[in-house]
Amino acid sequence: MSFTHDIKSNRLLDVEISDNFSDIAPPLSDKQVLVASERCLFCYDAPCITACPTGIDIPLFIRKINTGNNHGAAKEILSANILGGSCARVCPTETLCEQVCVRNKHEESPVEIGRLQRYAVDHLDTTQPYPFTRAESTGKHIAIVGAGPAGLSCAHQLAREGHQVTIFEAAPKSGGLNEYGIALYKLVDDYTQKEIEFVLKIGGIDIQYEKALGRDVSLAQLREKHDAVFLGIGMGDVNALNIPGEHYPGVEDAVAYIKELRQKSELSNLPVGRRVVVIGAGMTAIDIAVQSKKLGAEDVTIVYRRDKSAMGASQHEQDLAQTNGATFICNAQPKEIIGSDTGITEMTFNKTMLDDNGKLVVTDDIISIPCDVVFKAIGQKFESSPLGNDSESKPALDQRGRIAVNDNFQTSLNDVYAGGDCINGKDLVVEAVDHGNKAALAIHQQLKKQINQGE
């Protein structure tokens, strides 16, 4: 981190910070669950199922909750999405399953699917046997690179089919985005690690930590020693603003700061700016803005080069930022960060507008915002160097520079598959789980064919 000594910690008391970072959406009570589940119409052709990337049978699990079968409801969810507990907490349900809920057609609020899903998974009866069984060993061994949502879901599905799985994880902990990139108030009480412990109970999954692709192990080595490889390596690089002053202390990567925040035991010791500017329009921009306010920043401004309606963050997330005291400035493109090697004092922007053809154009109008910290939340990009330098022995990339896959999540290499943020998609946790599930099915079918042919 490049904060200067002027950027203070301890802006708030420990008790204030603890309260600020408590669960943002506390679980429903038993009575609230009964009322919420009663509102489901149990549609025959439920649009919410189609809207869920992992295809959870939402009416069925809600019906089971409504009849008091919480354990059965949890099994229904986890069968489709082994990370159903974290997805219930972090998924933008307002733009997925709840957005298409038929209750919306009657100008009512949608069924609280996300909170009901959380309730069900949290009430899985752990005194009963593990809800999934491992098939007889196939003798096949798959390497998975990355212990994030895509890698974990792929591993669990493959283990259920009787395959042996080894996950190579660059970080000292599993979880990927859930462990290192989600706002702390969305996943509290070390929930990610508890969920991973549950995933690993299936057996047949070994995780090797601090083993990075391209540094500690090569793709060629993995292919040589395993029957198939799944790449769930996420996005390893960050986009740059490419403006003067970007190198000054106080200009920070939002993803790196969130990662440090989530691993910090004493949040009051984190350096916090007084006047914070966040550049971006997605979930990360909202997360860093809200968390800066919760840590004691006085002024937090989210700046976006387009109109607010074009923001990647949902309206729910935008409302969350405003509720927590962040402000928005739209139609402003970064121009320059003013400062020196001792820190920054302000940032300037060119106003933007749409021309008659709907194209974004930069005007000569300039605005200035005083600040001592700037967070870049303008997206990450895929880093392909870990795949190696030989074009014939590494997966081909698509037009966006991510790993290209077919409908079965198979890369240009027959035995290598990929999923999650490293391939083209919406970069959602639930989507990554879906990629892992489907890739595991494709890998299993390929290996099953080999077994039947005696290979």
One domain, residues 252 and 302: yes
One domain, residues 243 and 347: yes
Question: How far is the C-alpha of 175 from the C-alpha of 180, rounded, in Å?
Answer: 7
One domain, residues 113 and 151: no
In a domain, 6, yes or no: no
One domain, residues 168 and 298: no
In a domain, 134, yes or no: no
Tens digits of pLDDT across the chain (455 residues): 666 545 766 778 888 999 999 999 999 999 999 999 999 999 989 999 999 999 999 999 999 999 999 999 999 999 999 999 999 999 999 999 999 999 988 778 999 999 999 999 999 999 999 999 999 999 999 999 999 999 999 999 999 999 999 999 999 999 999 999 999 999 999 999 999 999 999 999 999 999 999 999 999 999 999 999 999 999 988 899 999 999 999 999 999 999 999 999 889 888 899 999 999 999 999 999 999 999 999 999 999 999 999 999 999 999 999 999 999 999 999 999 999 999 999 999 999 999 988 899 999 999 999 999 999 999 889 999 999 988 788 999 999 999 999 999 999 999 999 999 999 988 899 999 999 999 999 999 999 999 888 76
In a domain, 7, yes or no: no
One domain, residues 266 and 394: no
- Amino acid sitting at position 282: G
CA 179 distance to own-chain centroid:
9
One domain, residues 253 and 358: yes
One domain, residues 359 and 270: yes
Q: How many domains does the chain have?
A: 3
One domain, residues 254 and 365: yes
One domain, residues 200 and 83: no
One domain, residues 105 and 54: yes
52 burial via Cβ count (<10 Å: 0-12, 13-18, 19+)? buried
- Cβ atoms 62, 37 nearer than 8 A: yes
Whichever domain contains 272, its CATH number is 3.50.50.60
One domain, residues 225 and 243: no
Question: How far is the C-alpha of 301 from the C-alpha of 276, rounded, in Å?
Answer: 6
In a domain, 422, yes or no: yes
pLDDT tens figures, 45-83: 999 999 999 999 999 999 999 999 999 999 999 999 999
Domain that includes residue 269, residue range = 14-21+238-380
Place of tokens 């190198």: 247
336 burial via Cβ count (<10 Å: 0-12, 13-18, 19+)? middle
In a domain, 357, yes or no: yes
Phi-psi domain of 190 (left: phi exceeds 0; alpha: psi -120 through 50; beta: other): left
pLDDT tens figures, 351-365: 999 998 889 999 999
In a domain, 445, yes or no: yes
One domain, residues 367 and 386: no
Whichever domain contains 82, its CATH number is 1.10.1060.10
Whole-model pTM: value is 0.94
In a domain, 273, yes or no: yes
